[in-house]
Structure 1
């Protein structure tokens, strides 16, 4: 009777140059313990300098490699059919303090201009003046007792919305920026996997 082995391909991984990609890097293996360790350590691909920053590992060469060594194994493939390997060619360097400061100032000015233009479009100053008149019966050009708490609350609301205070998170939920980055990376990996299959089909023809 054939021994069942279950393989679930990972969506994507990150490796360095000259890294030997093994089964355990691109997939999770479940099955008999006598085969699991051997299968996990089987080499699939060697990342070289000539490789670009993205390499797609397809499940079909993986199946052929395993069946050549263990033809009696019954393979069950779960999940995606490709694993996108991101190759980190350059070592991470400490970012420049000047560059970080310049980006921070640019983002700060851009965010401030966005908030001010929004408040101008919705006539927030006039709304606050009218609110002051409704509550006190007096007309005042700058009702600071409304404007100052509103400004502080706006900043605190942004901090709570993005769930971050420098490196500290208030809870384990991902913030909207992390979700958008995750969705972008997922779409990018999906596109690369599909495009790789199209290239292989064109080469076959």
Structure 2
């Protein structure tokens, strides 16, 4: 949400009500206003209940879910697509080079060329210092294995389960939200 904006119940919670008129009245109850000097704000379920009780005194309220809502307060920035594409390109290049260097260093540490030479000699009986057929097939297999493991290239996934990357991103987002919620609560005291 943007700073200094009115937060209504419909912005922070879901609601079930038998009466349609009452339903829209409750959804439009003003809970709070976003702060201008902070990046995040916590709305507690107690604040929500108090605001509902101010409007509708004799109401039965049943709570399901979390007791706090974290609101991100952001000033909307106009960014160009060119800047976004450039940032994405630069980050992609840096990540690609970093991954390539990590793989190269790993292969040098375990001396992959010598290992593949030994395998080539065992299988064929001929000594070859740089068995290109094994090196090329190993490199292709490494790439295909990574693509298959992370399951990010194809639109249709083979399995219904999330990929390891999606799980890590979910855990990261969850931990980040918990951290921001704790810090925001601590700073509001």
TM-score (norm 2): 0.84
User: Conserved in 2, the CA contact under 8 Å of 1:21 and 1:45?
Assistant: yes
Deviation string, structure 1 residues 2-37 (Cα, Å, up to 9, x no partner): xxxxxxxxxxxxx23454321122111123234322
Deviation string, structure 1 residues 162-202 (Cα, Å, up to 9, x no partner): 2223xx534265433333232222122222323344445x4
Which residue pairs with 1:137 in the alignment? Answer: 125
State which of 86, 100, 109 in structure 1 corresponds to 2:72: 86
Task: Considering fraction of residues, name the structure with more strand.
Answer: 1
Distance 1:45 1:95 in 2: 37
| 1:154 is aligned to 2:142 | yes
Which residue pairs with 1:10 in the alignment? Answer: none
Which residue pairs with 2:32 in the alignment? Answer: 45
| 1:124 is aligned to 2:108 | no
Distance 1:194 1:100 in 2: 31
Considering only aligned residues, what root-mean-square deviation do their CA atoms show, in Å? 2.3
Which residue pairs with 2:51 in the alignment? Answer: 65
| 1:16 is aligned to 2:28 | no
Task: Considering fraction of residues, name the structure with more helix.
Answer: 2
Map 1:103-122 → 2, pairs under 5 A: 103-122=91-110
Shift of 1:75: 1.2
Which residue pairs with 1:7 in the alignment? Answer: none
User: Conserved in 1, the CA contact under 8 Å of 2:120 and 2:131?
Assistant: yes
Q: Which 4+ runs in 1 deviate beyond 4 A?
A: none
Distance 2:63 2:25 in 1: 18
Shift of 1:45: 2.1
Gaps of 5+ in 2: none
Shift of 1:59: 1.0
Distance 1:139 1:170 in 2: 44
TM-score (norm 1): 0.78
Deviation string, structure 1 residues 44-72 (Cα, Å, up to 9, x no partner): 12335x24221111111111111122121
Aligned length: 184
Gaps of 5+ in 1: 1-14
